[in-house]
Chains A and B, each alone.
Chain A
Amino acid sequence: MAIGGTMQLIAGRVFGAIFLLISFLIVYFFMTRAVKGSVPKVRKMAGLEAIPESIGRAAETGRPVHYTPGTAGFSGAAAGFAAQTFAGLSVLTHVSRLTARYKVPLYVTLAYGEHIPLVESILRESYNLEGRPEAVATETKILYFPIATSNAPYASGVLGLFERIKPASNIMIGPFYFEALAIAEQGFIEGAMQIAGTAMTYQIPFFVVACDYTLIGEEIFAAGAVVSQDKPLLGSIAGQDIIKIITIALLLGGFILQNLGVDFLSLLKF
């Protein structure tokens, strides 16, 4: 579809572009509303509420906390999972503030180099906010087990680490692949209290069976907003809920119309 002879809209993506624009506007509206004071109440999530307990347990036992924001990078095929990594990093902000407060050693393991500067700045800020900037160097450790062609080096690195540090708490929030079960099982063997969350459908079952608490799918995105209590982020959750309701309406309306003979699918393919 040519516009003015220069710009082209790709067939099949026009509906998506309009939907995206509407979604932006809805989220922006709710974010603005939240900033002005109308902050939505987000329902409780057991997994999130267990984080202070798990870090408290680490403080009592004198054993460390392990955290990972997942094993997907920001480029290539994995780029589509970056939102999950960001959700994991948001929860890390909360976790690291708690470890700083309770003086618990924190190990953050990473599979991608591009996560290192982000994690470093999160840890620095958290320990600054808790009034213990000097403790970043002594109480936190970022371990990088690079992934090249397979996630196995990361998995084996974390398994070995667990054997050595015996974490009291293992928190894993972000995108994961096959290593999800290996790490969660090792955490279970070490007796760690485990809280995990991912939107990778095929890995959620492993977290459900091996961990004490699991954040399922989209819950990890809401988790970041809840732990930070950041007004715009909480507003965005309300906006996303409206988008989900629109999606439900599209599903039900589309199904009925399509079966009544109206070609609704062609609208989605526009």
Chain B
Amino acid sequence: MAISTDPSVWVAALLTIMAYTIIYKDNPLYKLAEHILVGLSAGYLFIQTWKMIYKSSIVPLFNGSGILFGGITIVLGVLLFTKFSKRYGWLSNISIAVLVGTATGLTVRGYLFAQLIDQVKASIKVVGNLPPLDMFNAILSLIMVVCTLSYFLFTFEQKGALGWLAKFGRYTMMAAFGAAYGGTVMTRLTIFIQRMQYLLFTWLGLA
């Protein structure tokens, strides 16, 4: 048994234990670990954001390679701070509008292809040449996709045939959630085991 002499291992190990103390109740040790984590994250984020702004907006603005882009982004960023003023606070709405509009535009493209067209493509399979079990799987998954989509029809009353389809869709989702739950629980257990291995072997050297 050889306890680690590496200070970084000690810091990581002690922070791990401090974080786990919340299992008992909120206490100063957990608070310390929490504040260190949040503080480090904030500091890291600040530096990363500053680097990004510097590289993508400030440098192009001053070396002439992107005066328009750099200028616009810096102005939009500065306008966000006007919300601290009662008189000029409305100017921050311009930046917010650009923020919301850009995010919406990016979402539309991502959703259309990843969530819709690719999904349709993946569900359409030629089943004639497939082995019986694969054929069954392909047809079943198509039926499940259709039924799940039916569940999300909000302006149609879910009665009769649509009601049955939606009900089967709900069962489909519950089966999928169950599988996902099991898989994720296993992942979490793996993470927990990794932390325990770190404490027992890397820190305490019990191997």
A→B interface (CB under 8 Å): 13, 15-16, 19-20, 23, 40-43, 74-75, 79-83, 85-86, 114, 117-118, 120-121, 145-150, 152-153, 156-157, 159-160, 163-164, 181, 201-202, 204-206, 208-209, 216-219, 222, 237-238, 240-241, 244-245, 247-248, 250-252, 254-255, 258-259, 264-265, 268-269
Contact = CB atoms under 8 A, between A and B. Distances in A.
Contacts of B114: 80
Contact of B120 (A86, A120, A181, A247): A247
Contact of A157 (B38, B154, B188): B38
A222 B111 CA distance: 16
A81 B107 contact: yes
A248 B146 contact: yes
Interface string B47-72: 01000000000000000000000000
A160 B30 contact: yes
Contacts of B116: 19, 247
A121 B41 contact: no
Contact of A86 (B22, B34, B95, B100): B100
B22 A248 contact: no
Interface of B: 19, 22, 25-26, 30-31, 33-34, 37-38, 40-42, 44-45, 48, 80, 83, 92-93, 95-96, 99-100, 102-104, 106-108, 110-114, 116-117, 120-121, 123-128, 142, 145-146, 149-150, 152-158, 173-174, 176-178, 180-181, 184, 188
Contacts of A40: 155
21 contacts: A16-B113, A20-B108, A74-B99, A75-B103, A79-B106, A80-B110, A80-B111, A117-B80, A117-B83, A120-B83, A146-B42, A147-B41, A148-B48, A163-B30, A238-B155, A241-B154, A245-B153, A252-B142, A259-B126, A268-B120, A268-B121
A244 B184 contact: no
Contacts of B125: 255, 258
A59 B188 CA distance: 36
B155 A241 contact: yes
